[in-house]
A and B are shown apart, each in its own frame.
Chain A
Amino acid sequence: MGKFFAVVLVLVAVLSAYPIIGNYFPLPEDISTHGHLIDSQLHDTMLEAGVAFIGAQLVLAYFLFAFTGRKSDAPLKNFPGGAKLMVIAAFLLVGTEVLALGAFGQKAWATVYFTAPKADALQIQSQAEQFAFYFRYPGPDGKFGAIHPDKIDEGNQNYFGLDPANDVDARDDIVSGELVVPVNREVNLMLHAKDFGHSFYVRELRIQQDFVPGLDLAVHFTATKVGKYEIVCTQLCGLGHYNMKAYLNVKSQDDYDKWLKEQSQ
């Protein structure tokens, strides 16, 4: 039984590691300027965690193999070094690992959250609601119209509750269901929640940030590759959560300008 258990554990270790080593579940391609930091951090962590995982399972397997079904008079031995060794090992191995991951790993975090967007970053506002994202561009005047929750009229495509009748800034605001951005241009995305908590997640951008009602947050990123990518909600927001998505459409500067012109007509 012990031998069988050992075999099973070896299989578990090997088969669990196989898809990772064989890279059968590759990360989606990274189209952001900061993503490579996250990816390399993920890679390092995977290496350390993987070694620990396989190591532990194999040791467990070996001990089971060696020390089950022994005769009742078989001598009992203690692991050389005993508990002291274990404690020291844990502190050294894990401690250093913790420090390494903790200290160096924060670079990616810092680039996302501790660096302010450049002054010329493209300002876009995103509103999350049950169950869609809408995006607002300030239009030619470069000013966003104020949001009036009582003016929201979705049947009439007024998702943000703008008041063009009285608010000049709002008249030229461009509202789109698709996040269209120019390539290689930093975007500062302001997140506004209309009803509940939502989250902005673009796998390829390596960006995830919650929309918190009553608390307008912002994320900034630079998309480096033209194409269409999925924006999904990762914060449970109600019955349509699974279907709450939009598309990030990265265009060349020219196409972007063209699109913007079409929209403002």
Chain B
Amino acid sequence: MHETSVEPVHVHAPPQGFWRKHVFSLDHKVIGKQYYALALVAVFTGMFLSWLMRIHMVWPDAKIHGLELLSKNGAPGGVMTPEYYLSLLTMHGTLMVFFVLTNAPFAAFGNYFLPIQIGAEDMAFPRFNMMSFWTTFLAWFVLMLAFVIPDGPPIAGWTEYTPLSAVGRDAGPGMQWGASLWGISIAIFCIASLLGALNFIATTLDLRAKGMTLMRMPLCTWAWFITSCIALLAFAVLLPACILLILDRHAGTSFFIPGGLVASDRLQPHSGGSPLLWQHLFWFFGHPEVYIAILPSMGIVSHILINSMRKPLLSAKVVIYSMMSIGFLSYMVWGHHMFVSGMNPLSSLTFSFPTLTITIPATILTLIWLGSLYGARIQLTSASLFAIGFISMFVSGGISGFFLAQPSLDIYLHGTYFVVGHFHMVMGVASLFGVFAGTYFWFPKMTGRYMNETIGKLHFWITFIGTYLIFMPMHYLGLIGNVRRYQSFVDDYMSPYLWLHKDMTVAALITGAAQFLFLYNVIYSRFKGAPAPENPWNCTSLEWSIPSPPPWNNFGDRHPIVYHDPYQYGVKGSQGDFVMQDSPEQIIASGD
């Protein structure tokens, strides 16, 4: 067999016409941008919902003018009803976890840059790739329908615990059709994510350019690869769970619904089902999902840190192995979401140990990032600001995991704002910081234009400080036993602390508003930004060896050959203090 195929080989023909170019495109770059756009829509929707929730929480009787237009029953005369608060809570969680934290760092950036970074022309299965985006879009559309149906969105939270989510109408408003739409939407989303993960894995395994050994892949490629392996298992389990849930709701089966339940004065016609079964299936997906959200950001941040430090991390191998072990351990810890849910107390202990153990690779990562900063030449751009902000955020949010990992403390802290603060910081904001960093970093490559640095830095400072103002107090409130998922605090116990909630609401409004700076920056720079060269950040990985924006077939008819790992910084290269992965030149250590 001959070495490499010499004649130009194209996975698909150059796109022709508007629909193929921009809508049903097979080009991984267009698909990546489509994912990003969807995530952008979802994240602003979700943020808007959180505004409404926080306002209602601290001023329950406040008339929010125009809200009655959004839902007549949900907000009669503009005053939000308790069930509508829960509807918004459910939609906020679902949108953020599935359509933002899974789509933006993983599907969007992964689609756009994974093939380029391994020197491939496109994904292994471009048609699957297109399908997986449009299926995701369908899932989003189905979920959004819940807002317009008279029944309104479901009120059972993004975890949709059974039997509340399984018995239908008698569970309350939104649980008749809203919850069904939720189940259908998530089932569709699972299929989309499975297709995507399959594509990522096959691409990484088989479409790497000559010389691109696994260990020469950039860290973000590694993160996307590991993430897709996690996603493959996780969504393969959530899908059956959703199917069974839908059957319980509409086919009269009793997978998750036990007998003898009386809801709304009606004896429910079910028997024998197990609510814990749903919790196990859901969290078997749900916990890995946390790492699906955070791992890509870890990769992106590492990639950007190396570039802005102008020196490699202390050890890329260790980072890769840490991410692997996190991915592996993430499948042994789901039970820590169920310490007080009637699981065998012994299994609570067996779940708590791997949960505590997972902090070891996490700590290794943090120490590597920190230690690598020592003796570096750190350049602070909007991108690297967010990358470093990620470290701070990851530490702050991750540390509270110490508490929740212990069943004995979970007895007290479970179901309080301590949990809310914890996961918002570590999986929500931290991985969004990764997305922001990625956006500022790769925008020049994706559009051929820089984003505005001044606005970018302003955006960072408000977001960074605002985040701490919103989520740090949640830990304190958790410590005094402030229960989560309450539409308002009617009990006198909480009244002395309402002022803090009010402050957090104000902080949330300001921080949220700052995100419009980002939106403006993206849109403005897309058209009016300063034009960017091929490799504006002097970065070593392959995506910077092709024009910005890249042509439809990435490398044209060129077949990149990789000579180095992507960590060649602080060396004497022909173009500066770095050597590109695909440049054949010898590495000469810079004299120091």
* Interface, chain A (partner B; CB < 8 A): 1-2, 5, 8-9, 12, 16, 19-20, 24-28, 37-38, 41-42, 45-46, 48-49, 52-53, 56-57, 59-60, 63-64, 67-72, 74-79, 82-83, 85-87, 89-91, 93-95, 97-98, 101-102, 105-109, 112-114, 129-130, 147, 149-150, 152, 154, 161, 194-197, 199, 201, 203, 206-210, 212-215, 217, 230, 232-243, 245
Contact pick for A195, options B262, B353, B395, B489, CB 8 Å: B262
Contact assessment for A199 and B340 in the assembled complex, using a CB-CB cutoff below 8 Å: yes
Tell whether B236 is near chain A: CB-to-CB under 8 Å.
no
A109-B349 contact, Cβ under 8 Å, with A5-B380, A49-B400, A217-B342: yes
Contact assessment for A25 and B161 in the assembled complex, using a CB-CB cutoff below 8 Å: no
A241-B395 contact, Cβ under 8 Å, with A48-B402, A83-B315, A109-B411: no
Q: Give me 4 other A-B pairs in contact (C-beta within 8 A), A27-B480, A79-B371 excluded.
A: A108-B411, A236-B86, A238-B155, A243-B82
A94-B342 contact, Cβ under 8 Å, with A41-B409, A86-B368, A206-B412: no
Contact assessment for A12 and B468 in the assembled complex, using a CB-CB cutoff below 8 Å: yes
A210-B318 contact, Cβ under 8 Å, with A60-B392, A64-B378, A194-B261: no
Q: How far is the CA of A212 from the CA of B345 in the complex (A)?
A: 15
Contact assessment for B368 and A209 in the assembled complex, using a CB-CB cutoff below 8 Å: no
Tell whether B357 is near chain A: CB-to-CB under 8 Å.
yes
| Residues of chain B in range 239-266 having any CB-CB distance to chain A below 8 Å | 257-263, 265
28 chain-A/chain-B pairs, Cβ below 8 angstroms: A1-B380, A5-B380, A12-B392, A16-B472, A25-B480, A41-B409, A52-B399, A68-B379, A69-B378, A76-B590, A78-B375, A83-B318, A86-B314, A86-B368, A91-B360, A94-B363, A102-B353, A109-B345, A154-B265, A195-B262, A195-B263, A203-B412, A212-B276, A213-B275, A214-B260, A237-B164, A239-B81, A239-B173
A166 to chain B, nearest CB (A): 18
B452 contact set on A, CB distance < 8 A: none
Q: How far is the CA of A256 from the CA of B327 in the complex (A)?
A: 54
A221 to chain B, nearest CB (A): 11
A206 contact set on B, CB distance < 8 A: 411-412
Q: How far is the CA of A9 from the CA of B257 in the complex (A)?
A: 49
A239-B411 contact, Cβ under 8 Å, with A12-B468, A94-B363: no
Contact assessment for B374 and A215 in the assembled complex, using a CB-CB cutoff below 8 Å: no
A69 contact set on B, CB distance < 8 A: 378, 380
A241 contact set on B, CB distance < 8 A: 82, 86, 485-487
B405 contact set on A, CB distance < 8 A: 101
| Residues of chain B in range 312-364 having any CB-CB distance to chain A below 8 Å | 313-315, 317-318, 340-342, 345, 348-349, 352-353, 356-357, 359-361, 363-364
Contact assessment for B464 and A8 in the assembled complex, using a CB-CB cutoff below 8 Å: yes
Contact assessment for A72 and B577 in the assembled complex, using a CB-CB cutoff below 8 Å: yes
Contact assessment for A201 and B491 in the assembled complex, using a CB-CB cutoff below 8 Å: no
B83 contact set on A, CB distance < 8 A: 238-239
Tell whether B156 is near chain A: CB-to-CB under 8 Å.
yes
Contact pick for B371, options A25, A86, A207, CB 8 Å: A86
Contact assessment for B481 and A78 in the assembled complex, using a CB-CB cutoff below 8 Å: no
A28 to chain B: closest residue by CB: B481
A14 to chain B, nearest CB (A): 12
Contact assessment for B488 and A242 in the assembled complex, using a CB-CB cutoff below 8 Å: yes
Contact assessment for B275 and A215 in the assembled complex, using a CB-CB cutoff below 8 Å: yes
B229 to chain A, nearest CB (A): 23
A8 contact set on B, CB distance < 8 A: 461, 464-465
Total contacting residues, chain B, CB less than 8 A: 110
Contact assessment for B408 and A38 in the assembled complex, using a CB-CB cutoff below 8 Å: yes
Q: How far is the CA of A89 from the CA of B361 in the complex (A)?
A: 11
Contact assessment for A20 and B378 in the assembled complex, using a CB-CB cutoff below 8 Å: no
Contact pick for A78, options B265, B341, B374, CB 8 Å: B374
B165 to chain A, nearest CB (A): 9
A72 contact set on B, CB distance < 8 A: 377, 577
A53-B395 contact, Cβ under 8 Å, with A86-B314, A113-B345, A242-B488: yes
A223 to chain B, nearest CB (A): 16
Contact assessment for A5 and B385 in the assembled complex, using a CB-CB cutoff below 8 Å: yes
A163 to chain B, nearest CB (A): 14
Contact assessment for A16 and B341 in the assembled complex, using a CB-CB cutoff below 8 Å: no
B570 contact set on A, CB distance < 8 A: 76
| Residues of chain B in range 275-311 having any CB-CB distance to chain A below 8 Å | 275-276, 310-311
Tell whether B148 is near chain A: CB-to-CB under 8 Å.
no
B388 contact set on A, CB distance < 8 A: 5, 60, 64
B276 to chain A, nearest CB (A): 6
| Residues of chain B in range 371-392 having any CB-CB distance to chain A below 8 Å | 371-380, 385, 388, 391-392
B464 contact set on A, CB distance < 8 A: 8
A74 contact set on B, CB distance < 8 A: 377
Instruction: Tell me which of A60, A129, A239 has the highest count of chain B C-beta atoms within 10 A of its own C-beta.
Output: A239
Q: How far is the CA of A90 from the CA of B408 in the complex (A)?
A: 24
